[in-house]
C-alpha cells in the first residue's frame, strides 16, 4: 500500500512513522481476519498486502537507486504485487450468494464505475504524465497497468458495499474511503512529479497515514459476512450512496473528459474508449434497472391482488378509521348490498345506538382500561338490515406513516352467541317440565342470598319430595311418569307467587324459592302438598301422589350450600314423619347429622382402638326356665358420646360400607367366646344378627365357615339371624340353604314387624322364628296381637320350627307367651345384656336357671 515514501526525499521521521503505522495496521487486520472467518482470506490477505507493500518499498529504498525526476517505473512495479493481493483480498470478502442476488444490475453498476474510474485516471493521471514526460514502451505499459489495478481495487470495494447485507455497509464505506485515499495518493505520486506544487511532497505520506487509519477502522467495524440485523437509516443511506456513486463518478468522468481540451490536453484514445464504455453501460444499467423495476412492480401487483382476494374472501371483516373515527375503508363483507355504504361515516353512527357510546370511549382511550386494547363487541347491520354482533380487536397504526389509522379486525360472532344462548338454556332449564334446573336454582339462590341483609330474611327455600312417582313409572311406564311430572310442575307454578321460583332439581324433587313473612311459607308448603295430592288424570288412568316438604328460612349470613343443606335436612325429617308432612329446619337436625358424621368417621378404626365389645343377652327356655342360648350384641364405647346403641351406629356402619367388616368381627369374637363358656345339660346356642348388607355381599357363607373353623364351635350351636325381607330374595336364599346344609341354624328375625305374612312363613327356609318386640308389646292386652302370636306358634309347631319371643319386658307378657305355647323368650324382664364374665357366672349358678323373681339372680356385671 505504500507509495515508496521510504525511499524518497521525505524525512526519515515520516518514513519511520509510515512503517510503524503499516505494521500496526497489518497486525490489526490479521487479528480481525481470525476473529471473523479464519484462514488465509479476506482481512488476513489484506494484512499480507500491507506487509508486502511495506516490504517492497523498503527493498526499493535499500537498493540505493537515486530518485529520478519524472515517472518512477521501479516504484510503480514494486507496488503492483501488493495492489493485486489487495484486489484478491477484497474479492474474497464478497459472498457468492449476495453476488448472485445482485444480478446483471449489480454487474453493470460495478462495470460502469470501473470505466468511469478509468476515464478519470486517463484524464487526470495518464494525460499529465504523458504530456510532461512523453512515456513510451515499458513505461507506458506500467503506467496503464497501474491505473487498471487501482481502478479495479476501488471498484471491488464499491461492489462489496453494494452486494453486502446492511450490517457490513459501514465497514465497506470505510474501506472505500481508504481505497479512494490510496488511489488519490497513488495518482498524485504519478502525475504530480512535474507539477510546481511544493505541498505535494508532504501530501503523499499524510494520505498514506489516513488510508491506514481508515483500514483499521473498517476492520474494527466489520461484523462478518453472515451478520444479520434489521436495516438502519444509516445503512439505507449508504445503500443509496452506493447506487448513486457510479453515476456521479460517470458524470465527473464526462466533465473531466470534456474539460481536458480547455486545459490544453487532448484525451487519450483509451479515455475515449472508456467513456464510450460508460455511455454504453449507462444504457445497459438503465435497461437492467427497468427490467428489475418491472419485475418488482409485477410482484407487487400480484401480491396486492393476492391479499385483496384474501381480504374479500375472508370471514374476518376489517374497518379502517381515521383520526376522527370515521370509516375510511370497509371490507366488502361489511358493505350493504344497496344503499349508502360505510365509507365516510362515523363509526358511532354506523353501529347500534346502544353500542355507540361504549365503542367511542374504547377507541378514544376514555374507557375504564385507558388505552385502545383488548376485544370489544358491537352490532352492525348486515346486507339485509338485520343487526349482527361483531367481536373486534384493534391495531393502532396511527404512528405508521404508511397507514396512519386505526384498524379494526372484526369477526361475526352472531351464530356463536346464538349457540351459547341455546346451550345456556339447555344448561339451566329442565327439558321435561320447562322449569329451571338445579344449576339455575343454585344461581337464583346465590343471588338472593347476596342481595343484602333485608332480602334473605323474607324468603325461604322449600324442597318438595314426591312419593308414588316410582310406582307410577313401574306400573304405567315412562310416558305416564313424564306426563305426571309435567302436570305437577304446572300445578306448583300456578300455586306460588309470580316472584317465586319453582325448579325441578331431581327426579322426584322440586324446589321453591318463596318470598313472604310470618307463616306464609308454611301455608305455601301446605298448598303445594294439596296441589300434589290432588289426583292426576293420564291416558293410563288416575295417578295418586303424595309428598313431603322441607322448609329452610334464608337467614342472613347463610351461604348457598348451607341453605340447601338445611332444606335437605328438613326433607329428611319430614320423610321420617310420613307422607303429607311439612317440617321446618331446626338446629337439632344439624346436630344429629353432625353426630352421625362424627360417628361414621370415628367408626373407622374403633375396633383397633378397643372401643368395640360384645354384650350377651340370654335366651331362656320357658318349659324349664334354663338358659339355652345367647345373642351376641355389638357395643361401642365412644370416647366422646359414651355408649352408642347398636340401633344408632349399625345404620351408620351400613352407610359407610363398614357393616360387613363389623359383622365378620362379631362372628369371630362371638364364636370364640361361646366356645370357652361352661356348658350345662345341653349345648348353649349362639345367635348372631346378620344384616341384609352382609348377606348381599356374598361373603356370609365364607365368613361363617372361617369363624367356625377358627373357633372350633360346632355348626349346630350357631344361629344366624336374618330379616325376613332378605330371605325372600332368590339369590340370597341360596346362601341360606348352604348354611343350613352346613348344620348352622337360620332364624328369621323381627317376624311381625309389618311386612310378615303367615302364608309366607311356610316357604321360609328357617329353623327359628323370632317374634318382633313391637308385636309382643301388645300381646297381653290386644286380642289381635295375641291371636297373631297364637297362629304363629301353632304354625311353627306344625312345621317343626322353634319360636323365640324378643323384647319380653313384663310378667303379663311372659305369662301370655307361656300360655300360647311359645318355647323361648328373651328380654329385659329375664336379663339385660351381660358382659362375658357375668354370662359365665349366670351359666354356672343354679345350673343356668333364669326366671323373674329367682333368688340369686345374676346381675349384669
Tens digit of each residue's pLDDT (9 = 90 or more) over 308-348: 776 666 666 788 888 888 888 887 777 765 656 788 888 88
Q: pLDDT (tens digit, 9 = 90+) per residue, 460-474? A: 999 999 998 888 888
Average pLDDT for 603-621: 89
Same domain membership, residue 180 and residue 32: yes
- Region 662-689 average pLDDT: 85
Q: Coil, strand, or helix at residue 431?
A: coil
d(CA 626, CA 601): 42
With a cut of 60, say whether residue 196 has pLDDT above it.
no
Q: Greater confidence, 705 or 229?
A: 705
Following DSSP, what letter does each residue of 241-270 receive, concatenated? HHHHHHHHHHHHHHHHHHHTGGGT-PPPHH
CA neighbours within 13 Å on the CB side: how many for 445? 31
Residues 471 and 386 in one domain: no
Task: Dig out the grid coordinates for 291 from the structure.
Answer: 427490467
Q: Rounded to whole angstroms, how far apart are CA atoms 765 and 711?
A: 26
**Which of 322-327's residues contact partners 24+ apart within 8 Å by CB, and which partners?**
322/405, 323/398, 323/404, 323/405, 325/360, 325/363, 325/364, 325/406
Q: Which residues neighbour 301 within 8 Å (Cβ) at sequence distance 6 or greater? A: none
Q: 44 is written with which cell numbers? A: 488476513
Confirm whether 814 is domain-assigned.
yes
The reply to whether 771 falls in a domain is yes
Q: Which of 289, 305, 324 is the last residue of a domain?
A: 289
Q: What burial class does residue 826 get, using C-beta atoms within 10 Å of its C-beta: 0-12 exposed, 13-18 middle, 19+ buried?
A: buried
Compute the distance between CA of residue 703 and CA of residue 302 in angstroms, rounded to an integer. 87
> Alpha-carbon dihedral of residues 322, 324, 328, 329, nearest 10 degrees?
70
pLDDT of residue 680: 60
Helix crossing, 233-259 with 169-191: angle to 10°? Answer: 20
Domain check: are 664 and 687 in the same one? yes
Work out the percent of the chain whose per-residue pLDDT is above 70: 84
The domain that contains 110 carries what CATH number? 1.20.1070
User: Is residue 299 domain-resident?
Assistant: no
The answer to whether residue 661 scores a pLDDT higher than 60 is yes
Residue 861 lies in a domain: no
Query: Which of 419, 451, 479 is at the close of a domain?
Result: 419
Q: Is 556 exposed, middle or buried, given 0-12, 13-18 or 19+ CB atoms closer than 10 A?
A: exposed
**Do 603 and 577 share a domain, yes or no?**
no
Q: Are residues 632 and 556 in the same domain?
A: no
b/e code 333-356 from CB counts within 10 Å (16+ = b) = bbeeeeeeebeeeebbebbeeebb
Helix (H, G, I), strand (E, B) or coil at 80: helix
387: left (phi over 0), alpha (psi -120 to 50) or beta: beta
The burial class, CB within 10 Å (0-12 / 13-18 / 19+), for 384 is: exposed
Q: Are residues 198 and 76 in the same domain?
A: yes
The dihedral sign for the CA sequence 184, 190, 191, 193: positive
Residue 711 · residue 741 · CB < 8 Å? no
Could you give the angle at the alpha carbon of 368 between the alpha carbons of 365 and 372, nearest 5°? 30
Domain co-membership, 526 together with 457: yes
Total tally of structural domains belonging to the chain? 4
Beta strands at 501-506 and 509-515: parallel, antiparallel or unpaired: antiparallel
Residues 269, 387 within the same domain: no
For residue 231, what pLDDT is reported?
66
Contact 56, 78 (CB under 8 A): yes
| Same-domain status, 570 and 602 | no
Lowest mean pLDDT segment, chosen from 183-192, 481-490, 529-538, 780-789: 183-192
Helix H or strand E segment including 91: helix 73-92
Overall average pLDDT of the 251-279 stretch: 78
Residue 68 banded pLDDT, cuts 50, 70, 90: very low
In a domain, 307, yes or no: no
**Residues 763 and 756 sit within 8 Å (Cβ to Cβ):** no
Q: What is the DSSP string of 472-498?
A: HHHHH-HHHHHHHHHHHHHHHHHHS-T
Buried b (16+ CB within 10 A) or exposed e, 696-710: ebeebbebbeebbee
Same domain, 562 and 534: yes
Q: Is 464 in the same domain as 487? A: yes
Is 590 contained in some domain? no
Domain around 667 = 598-848
Does this model's pTM top 0.95? My answer is no
Task: Mark which of 351, 386, 419 sits at the end of a domain.
Answer: 419
Length, in residues, of the chain = 861
Percent of the chain at pLDDT exceeding 90: 20
pLDDT at 855: 38
- Return d(Cα 698, Cα 692) in angstroms, integer: 10
Backbone angles phi, psi at 518, to 5 degrees: 60, -130
For residue 831, the surrounding DSSP H or E stretch is none
Torsion, CA 142, CA 143, CA 149, CA 150, rounded to 10: 150
> What's 510's domain CATH number?
3.30.70.270
Whether 303 maps to a domain, the answer reads no
| Claim to verify: residue 387 and residue 467 sit in the same structural domain | no
Among 460-464, 564-568, 795-799, 843-847, the range scoring the smallest mean pLDDT is 843-847
Least-confidence region, from 319-328, 358-367, 576-585 = 358-367
Q: Residues 265, 268, 269, 270: what is their CA dihedral angle, to the nearest 10 degrees?
A: -150
pLDDT at 715: 93
Residue 224: pLDDT band with limits 50, 70, 90 = low
* CATH classification at residue 329: 3.30.450.20
- Cα 76 to Cα 138: distance, rounded to the nearest angstrom: 12
The DSSP symbol for 166 reads G
**Closest C-alpha to 636, from 662, 664, 667:** 662
Cell of 659: 357393616
Q: Residue 856: inside a domain, yes or no? A: no
Write out pLDDT tens, residues 147-177: 888 888 888 887 777 777 777 777 777 877 8
For the ranges 179-183, 649-653, 711-715, 717-721, which has the lowest average pLDDT? 179-183
| Residue whose C-alpha is closest to residue 830's, from 669, 628, 645 | 628
Q: How far apart are the first and last CA of the chain?
A: 126
Taking CA atoms, 625 is separated from 358, 831, 833, in Å, by 96, 12, 17
Amino acid at each position: 500500500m505504500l507509495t515508496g515514501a521510504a525511499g524518497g526525499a521525505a524525512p526519515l521521521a515520516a518514513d519511520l512513522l509510515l512503517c510503524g503505522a503499516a505494521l500496526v495496521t497489518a497486525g490489526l487486520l490479521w487479528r480481525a481476519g481470525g476473529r471473523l472467518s479464519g484462514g488465509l482470506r479476506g482481512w488476513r490477505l489484506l494484512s499480507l498486502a500491507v506487509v508486502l507493500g511495506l516490504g517492497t518499498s523498503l527493498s526499493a529504498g535499500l537498493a540505493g537507486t537515486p530518485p529520478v525526476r519524472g515517472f518512477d517505473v521501479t516504484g510503480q512495479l514494486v507496488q503492483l504485487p501488493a495492489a493485486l493481493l489487495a484486489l484478491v483480498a477484497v474479492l474474497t470478502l464478497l459472498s457468492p450468494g449476495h453476488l448472485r442476488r445482485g444480478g446483471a444490475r449489480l454487474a453493470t453498476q460495478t462495470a460502469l464505475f470501473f470505466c468511469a474510474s478509468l476515464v478519470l485516471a486517463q484524464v487526470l493521471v495518464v494525460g499529465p504524465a504523458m504530456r510532461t514526460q512523453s512515456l513510451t514502451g515499458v513505461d507506458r505499459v506500467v503506467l496503464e497497468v497501474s491505473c487498471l489495478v487501482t481502478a479495479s481495487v476501488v471498484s471491488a470495494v464499491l461492489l462489496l458495499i453494494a452486494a453486502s447485507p446492511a450490517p457490513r455497509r459501514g465497514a465497506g464505506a470505510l474501506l472505500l474511503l481508504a481505497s479512494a485515499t490510496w488511489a488519490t495518493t497513488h495518482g498524485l505520486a504519478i502525475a504530480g512529479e512535474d507539477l510546481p506544487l511544493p505541498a505535494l511532497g508532504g501530501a503523499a505520506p499524510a494520505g498514506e497515514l489516513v488510508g491506514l487509519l481508515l483500514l483499521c477502522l473498517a476492520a474494527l467495524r466489520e461484523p462478518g459476512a453472515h451478520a444479520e440485523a434489521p436495516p438502519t437509516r444509516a445503512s439505507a443511506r449508504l445503500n443509496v450512496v452506493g447506487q448513486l456513486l457510479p453515476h456521479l463518478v460517470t458524470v465527473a468522468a464526462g466533465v473531466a473528459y470534456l474539460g481536458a481540451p480547455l486545459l490544453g490536453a487532448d484525451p487519450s484514445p483509451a479515455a475515449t474508449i472508456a467513456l464510450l464504455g460508460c455511455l454504453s453501460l449507462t444504457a445497459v444499467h438503465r435497461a437492467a434497472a427497468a427490467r428489475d423495476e418491472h419485475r418488482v412492480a409485477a410482484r407487487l401487483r400480484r401480491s396486492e391482488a393476492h391479499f385483496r382476494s384474501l381480504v374479500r374472501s375472508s370471514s374476518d371483516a376489517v374497518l379502517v378509521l381515521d383520526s376522527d373515527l370515521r370509516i375510511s375503508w370497509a371490507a366488502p363483507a361489511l358493505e350493504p348490498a344497496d344503499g349508502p355504504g360505510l365509507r365516510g361515516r362515523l363509526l358511532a353512527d354506523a353501529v347500534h345506538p346502544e353500542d355507540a357510546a361504549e365503542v367511542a370511549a374504547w377507541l378514544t382511550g376514555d374507557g375504564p382500561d385507558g388505552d385502545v386494547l383488548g376485544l370489544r363487541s358491537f352490532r352492525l347491520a348486515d346486507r339485509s338490515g338485520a343487526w349482527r354482533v361483531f367481536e373486534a380487536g384493534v391495531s393502532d397504526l396511527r404512528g405508521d406513516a404508511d397507514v396512519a389509522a386505526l384498524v379494526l379486525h372484526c369477526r361475526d360472532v352472531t351464530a356463536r352467541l346464538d349457540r351459547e344462548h341455546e346451550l345456556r338454556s339447555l344448561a339451566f332449564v329442565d327439558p321435561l317440565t320447562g322449569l329451571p334446573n338445579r344449576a339455575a336454582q343454585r344461581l337464583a339462590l346465590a343471588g338472593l342470598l347476596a342481595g343484602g341483609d333485608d332480602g334473605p330474611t323474607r324468603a325461604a327455600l322449600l324442597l318438595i319430595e314426591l312419593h308414588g312417582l316410582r310406582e307410577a313409572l313401574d306400573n304405567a311406564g315412562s310416558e305416564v311418569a313424564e306426563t305426571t311430572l309435567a302436570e305437577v310442575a304446572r300445578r306448583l307454578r300456578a300455586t306460588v307467587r309470580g316472584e317465586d321460583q319453582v325448579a325441578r332439581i331431581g327426579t322426584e324433587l322440586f324446589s321453591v324459592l318463596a318470598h313472604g313473612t310470618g307463616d306464609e311459607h308454611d301455608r305455601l308448603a301446605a298448598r303445594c302438598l294439596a296441589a300434589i295430592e290432588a289426583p292426576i288424570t293420564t291416558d293410563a288412568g288416575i295417578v295418586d301422589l303424595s309428598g313431603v316438604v322441607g322448609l329452610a328460612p334464608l337467614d342472613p349470613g347463610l351461604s348457598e350450600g348451607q341453605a340447601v343443606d338445611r332444606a335437605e335436612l328438613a326433607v329428611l325429617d319430614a320423610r321420617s314423619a310420613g307422607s303429607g308432612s311439612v317440617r321446618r329446619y331446626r338446629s337439632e337436625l344439624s346436630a344429629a347429622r353432625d353426630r352421625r358424621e362424627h360417628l361414621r368417621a370415628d367408626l373407622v378404626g374403633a375396633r383397633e382402638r378397643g372401643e368395640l365389645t360384645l354384650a350377651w343377652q340370654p335366651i331362656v327356655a320357658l318349659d324349664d326356665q334354663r338358659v339355652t342360648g345367647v345373642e351376641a350384641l355389638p357395643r361401642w364405647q365412644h370416647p366422646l358420646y359414651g355408649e352408642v346403641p347398636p340401633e344408632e351406629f349399625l345404620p351408620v356402619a351400613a352407610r359407610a360400607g363398614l357393616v360387613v367388616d363389623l359383622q365378620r368381627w362379631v362372628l369371630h369374637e362371638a364364636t370364640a367366646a361361646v366356645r370357652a363358656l361352661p356348658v350345662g345339660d345341653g349345648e348353649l346356642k349362639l345367635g348372631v344378627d346378620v344384616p341384609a348388607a352382609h348377606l348381599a355381599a356374598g361373603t356370609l357363607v365364607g365368613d361363617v365357615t372361617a369363624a367356625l373353623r377358627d373357633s372350633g364351635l360346632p355348626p349346630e350351636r350357631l344361629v344366624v339371624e336374618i330379616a325376613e325381607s332378605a330371605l325372600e330374595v332368590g339369590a340370597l336364599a341360596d346362601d341360606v340353604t348352604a348354611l343350613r346344609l352346613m348344620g348352622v341354624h337360620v332364624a328369621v328375625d323381627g317376624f311381625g314387624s309389618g311386612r310378615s305374612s303367615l302364608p309366607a312363613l311356610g316357604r321360609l327356609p328357617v329353623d327359628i322364628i323370632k317374634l318382633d318386640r313391637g308385636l309382643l308389646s301388645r300381646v297381653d292386652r290386644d286380642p289381635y296381637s295375641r291371636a297373631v302370636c297364637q297362629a304363629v306358634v301353632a304354625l311353627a309347631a306344625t312345621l317343626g320350627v322353634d319360636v323365640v319371643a324378643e323384647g319380653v319386658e313384663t310378667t303379663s307378657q311372659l305369662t301370655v307367651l307361656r300360655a300360647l305355647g311359645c318355647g323361648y323368650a328373651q328380654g329385659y324382664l329375664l336379663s339385660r345384656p351381660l358382659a362375658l364374665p357375668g354370662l359365665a357366672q349366670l351359666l354356672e349358678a343354679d345350673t343356668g336357671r333364669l326366671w323373674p323373681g329367682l333368688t340369686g339372680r345374676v346381675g349384669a356385671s
